[in-house]
Amino acid sequence: MFYIFDNVVTKSLANNIENYVINGLSYKYNRQTSFNTKYYQGEIFKDSNTHDKGHLTCPIYFDDQPPQPHQNYFPTLEVILLSCLDSVNMELNHIKRVKVNLLRQENFPENHYNIPHHDDSSGYSLLYYINDSDGDTFLFNEYYDGKKYPEQLSVFQRVKPKKNRAILFESARIHASSNPLLTDERCVINFTFTVSKNG
């Protein structure tokens, strides 16, 4: 399952979100774009196309952690998720986490990507692109099976970041970001969630 949505929210709301997320959040630097957490468990997959440079990240909401510093902005961001789910007749059940990832321009080899990973072993992921940039998202045909990663990956689709665009896919699908080569920054919001069975 895979969907692309364009013009997810109104232009004014998209501008408001871009301004707040890029200028109003406090980020921390992670040396890798993916590493073991409660949600992401398993070996770190790297192949000859992996060229990881780390990223800046800001947690907005985690269902198993105390309130985050920017959690008051969560209801505004939830509109993005609900709008996308409505358009494909899916009903939100539970949001697990919402975080912002920001990648800076790098001298990144063409057709390379950061660490391929899955977001969770169940449920769905939605990536919402904050700004127009380069630095494609790579989605692979392979899924994490709960035990180990496949030995090789094959590209299912590459998605170009575009302001007010979102993509929806199963959280177990392996995917990877890539750094912008031409624009200053690439910024996305990552939602991980479950839906109702009758959604």
SS3 assignment, position 23? helix
Task: Over range 82-104, report the average pLDDT.
Answer: 97
Quote the radius of gyration of the chain (alpha carbons, Å): 16
More confident residue, 37 or 83: 83
Using 50, 70 and 90 to split pLDDT, how confident is the model at 41? very low
- Burial of 152-175, coded b for 16+ CB within 10 Å and e otherwise, reads ebeeeeebebebbbbbbbbbbbbb
103-125 pLDDT, tens per residue? 999 988 888 999 999 999 899 99
Task: Over range 165-178, report the average pLDDT.
Answer: 96
- What integer pLDDT is reported at residue 39 of this predicted model? 46
Q: Which residue has the tokens 């494909």?
A: 88
Using 50, 70 and 90 to split pLDDT, how confident is the model at 20? very high
Beta bridge partners of 92: 195
- Report the C-alpha gap between 90 and 110 in whole angstroms: 36
The model's pTM is 0.93
132-141 pLDDT, tens per residue? 999 999 999 9
- What integer pLDDT is reported at residue 177 of this predicted model? 96
